[in-house]
Structure 1
Amino acid sequence: MLLSSLILLAAAAPAQLPEDPGPYAAGWQVVSFADQNYGAGTVRARVHYPAQLAGRDTAVDLSGAPYQPVALMHGWLGSADGLDDLGNHLASHGYLVINLDTEKGLFPDVPAYAVDTRAALQWLEDESGDPASWLSGMAQSGVNWAAIGHSMGGGTLSHLIGIEPRVRAILGMQAADAIAPGPANMSQYTGAALWIAGSVDNIVPTGQVRRWYDRAGVTERRMFVEVEGMGHSGCLDNPPNNQPMPGDVQKRVHLRMLTLFLDAELRGEDAEYEYLVADVGGAAPWSFDQDCERPLLWGGASLTSQAGLFGVHGAAGSQTIFAWSTQLGSTSTPFGDAALDLNFGALTPPLSLGAAGWGKDYYAFPPSWSGTTVYFQAAVFQNAIDGALTAPLSLPIP
């Protein structure tokens, strides 16, 4: 099963996958700046950005600007140049990435690393607002930030969220444990979080990564993914090939996870979660747990004129009602404003999401839908007064 899954994941799929390069060329520059805001001192990093041409020190591409800022944090004894491929990939998908190059020694200061990361994200915003800067106009301001960390960098996320409330989406790759107050910070974090663990990681074992998921009990969305046959360093530019999962496939798994998570949590593209849970491009060689107090609905990647695969995610023990319509509308409900006009649609009977808190199934389409756009939405609820609506999903039917 693992070998066939890997072959399928590495092979070309019918549609554009998150791990494929995005529409932008990726440029990068080495930067060093004196922090003027948080006492971080001199911060060194690489900036990966949408560019007019791929490569070092190329001109920025303002055609899609401003772009969402994202921080990337290396692990113990690592450095920014080990995560260039991840940074460039995210830049190709329209993100402005600051790839930290501090705390590289044998005895790193984790709280200081968090301050460096906060300062780096702020620096992106400040430089974007400076007409004289090469980054002028490149960063979105006044928006939530995202941060991604590997190993020690993943553990440092718990310190970053304790000092910077604008960080609302975090992704830990084989995230190591962290000193206080990191664990306590995670127990109070209310944003979105995804943790990736490798089943054969003997540096940060699965159980250690899983503890971050368990601590994050009040997040609006949390997911934990264990990848079969993956070790500790699959996210690096040159991952090892001495594990059951080949190194290049380990990297593609990370590219998929990072891209779909940022697209969903920063851009509101919840449908991207289909690439995590629905075996798109081949059987996925991973298992996952999830808890979504802010529910989500996905569908569309496996679409024909006759049927489509849909998934709804909520909290354990919740129920869902799935709705469709050929027209948008606005209706007040106990769970918020419904975006569908049900005079042109219908509701399904309530369905239990069970202990896992999510479910997926195929929905058959009537022939009259072919060539039209149909809108979908779901309500996820524990009882008559405790629930929420997903974002609506718009699908052109072939």
Structure 2
Amino acid sequence: MPLIQSLAVGLLACAVHCLAPAALADSSQPGPFAVSQRTVTITRASGTTFTAQIRYPASSAAANAPFATAAAPAPAITFGHGFLSAVDLYDSTMDHLASHGYIVIATTSEGSLLPNHANFALDIRQCLTWLEQQNALATSWLVGDVNTAAFGVSGHSMGGGASALAAAADPRIKCLATLAAAETNPSAAAAATSIQRPSCFITAAQDAIVAPSSTLTEYNNCDAPRQFVSIAGGSHCGFVDSAIIACDSGTLPRPDQLAKTRSLLLDWFDAHLRFQPRAFTAAWGAGTPIAGTTTTRDARTTLTLGASALSGAAGAKPLETTITITNIGPDSTAFVLRASSSPFDVSFVPANIAELAAGQSATATVRVGSSAAGNASIVIDVVRGRDAAGASAALAVNFTAPPAGPADLDHNGVVDAADLATLQNSWGKCAGCAADFDHNGVVDAADLAVLLSGWS
């Protein structure tokens, strides 16, 4: 297995213990960190420069405050603004991510009437290069504070299309989340065919500026784990903090659209950059959908249970069924198996699935045990080691009370009048009868004594 996939499987196996901070139940709410802001100058490979705003978890909310050491090393997101839209219009979204421990950097370039989309995508990528440089620079205020293996990209409208261009071209980017992504020149829709990492295309159902059908083309072209999300009543300008010239509006109030956007983005990045089980459940699993959103998911993975329900006596041999996993592709990946919600003891054989090429399948066994009676629907997750996308399935499990000895003829956990009635109905010659406890071919006083000795 390639080293990067071995590392990913290890991270996923320890996810909730190894990576912090833990996410809140309501991911639209602010995180635990104060947020500070700086304006930085970034040098391109050509030697020219541009400025970028950077939001980050800090020791205080004052401008240029020191980085919050508890957040290090922090994952980072590079963000692209919309056409003629100042970076400040996205303050609430960027601050939200930073409050949860993310570094968010947004280029201010290409803000003219005639932006160059290709150059914009290059600047979005150059922001990540700057973070790598600052992380390695001994004199930098960010030295050692950036998780350079956990880069994501996002953007709105023009910036959404440019972020797709960046994701298609830059292997450092581990996931993409766009907001009403517009078509660009060069084509973001065409570039989507080259995106190899999980991509979430978030749209607003009442967008009057970038039709959701345009973004849907990017989703359809993306040959990687992908999602298409529609926010009911949302508008194009509902993704920014305040209206600008030529803005549209929808029936959903702006604060509500922004809250849903915050949840969607945080869940997505936490799932793919932090490998958090809670976020995986929200993004790919059996979590409760965000109210007012509709999501189409394609994890490039299928999961099929041999049985959808299991039943048996508690305390006995574990119940089991098979799991068949298929990797749709486009690249090979290993898989981690886990039960994300279970009151029972759950194990898998094998514990993980070795690397599968695109189109390959593998089968594992899930075993469920319990020492006490009970029933629950447990959720089985299959998580891709390559990119932390995946699929889930529900397995209904029912454990009945263990028999209270051989005299518990109806296996309800007690020896009572019902068992006595069964014995009486079998009285006399009755070869093979359950009530013939001494197996002498006759149900008689000796068998009655056995039953009475076990009376509950």
* TM-score (structure 2 length as normaliser): 0.63
Instruction: Call closer, same or farther: CA 1:164–1:379 in 2, change over 3 Å.
Output: closer
| Change over 3 Å in CA distance of 1:270–1:279 after alignment to 2 | closer
Counterpart in the other structure of 2:234: 230
Alignment-derived partner of residue 350 in structure 2:
331
Tell me the CA shift for residue 107 of structure 1.
0.4
For residues 93-116 of structure 1, give each alpha carbon's deviation from its aligned partner in whole angstroms, at most 9, with x where no partner exists.
111111111110000011111111
How far 1:50 moved relative to its partner?
0.7
Structure 1 pair 333/119, CA: closer, same or farther in 2 (3 Å)?
Answer: closer
For the 8 Å contact 1:326–1:375, the answer to whether it is kept is no
1:45 match: 52
- Distance (Å, rounded) in 2 between the aligned partners of 1:117 and 1:68: 16
Q: What are the residue-to-residue correspondences of 1:151-190 with 2, within 5 Å?
A: 151-180=157-186, 182-190=188-196
**Coordinate RMSD, CA, aligned:** 3.8
Which residues in structure 2 correspond to 1:181-220 (within 5 Å)? 182-216=188-222, 218-219=223-224
Q: In the alignment, what sits opposite 2:13?
A: none
Once the two structures are TM-superposed, the CA of residue 199 in structure 1 deviates from its matched residue by 1.3
Q: Name the CA distance, whole Å, in 2 between partners of 1:389 and 1:287.
A: 18
Please say if 1:34 is aligned against 2:43. yes
CA distance in 2, matches of 1:83, 1:187: 28
1:81 corresponding residue in structure 2: 88
Cα deviation for residue 271 of structure 1 reads 3.4
Question: Are 2:274 and 1:267 aligned?
Answer: yes
Return the letter of the residue paired with 1:16: A
Give how far 1:232 is off: 0.3
How far the C-alpha of 1:148 sits from its partner, in A, is: 0.3
Q: Is the 8 A contact 1:335 1:389 kept in 2?
A: no
The count of residues paired between Structure 1 and Structure 2 equals 327
| CA–CA separation in structure 1 for the residues paired with 2:47 and 2:295 | 37
Instruction: Give the conservation status (yes or no) of the 8 Å contact 2:207–2:250.
Output: no
2:121 equivalent among 111, 114, 121: 114
SS across alignment from 2:71:
coil
Q: Which runs of 5+ in 1 are unaligned?
A: 1-14, 298-312, 347-364, 381-387, 394-398
- Please tell me whether the aligned partners of residues 114 and 159 of structure 1 are also in contact (alpha carbons under 8 angstroms): yes
Go from structure 1 to structure 2 and tell me whether the alpha carbon gap of 1:366 and 1:108 turns closer, same or farther (over 3 Å shift): farther
2:257 alignment counterpart: 250
Closer, same or farther in 2 for the Cα pair 1:85/1:367, shift >3 Å?
A: farther
Comparing 326-335 with 262-271, greater Cα deviation is found at 326-335
* Aligned-pair CA distance for 1:184: 2.8
Whether the 8 Å contact between 1:40 and 1:115 is mirrored in structure 2 is no
Structure 1 residue 392 displacement after superposition: 12
CA offsets, 1:45-73, max 9 Å, x none?
A: 11111101124222211123010111011
Q: Distance in 1 between matches of 2:42 and 2:303?
A: 40
Q: Aligned equivalents of 1:392 and 1:47: distance in 2?
A: 40
> Once the 2 structures are TM-superposed, how far is the Cα of residue 270 of structure 1 from its aligned partner?
4.6
In structure 2, C-alpha distance between the alignment counterparts of 1:75 and 1:242, rounded to whole Å: 16
| Other structure's SS at 2:239 match | coil
Q: Matched residues in 2 for 1:82 and 1:334: separation? A: 45
Unaligned runs of 5+ in 2: 1-23, 305-324, 329-336, 357-361, 384-388, 395-456
Contact 1:72-1:147 at 8 Å conserved across structures: yes
Judge conservation of contact 1:84–1:237 (CA < 8 Å) in 2. yes
Q: Given residue 181 of structure 2, which amino acid in structure 1 is its aligned partner?
A: A
**Residue 99 (structure 1) aligns with:** 106
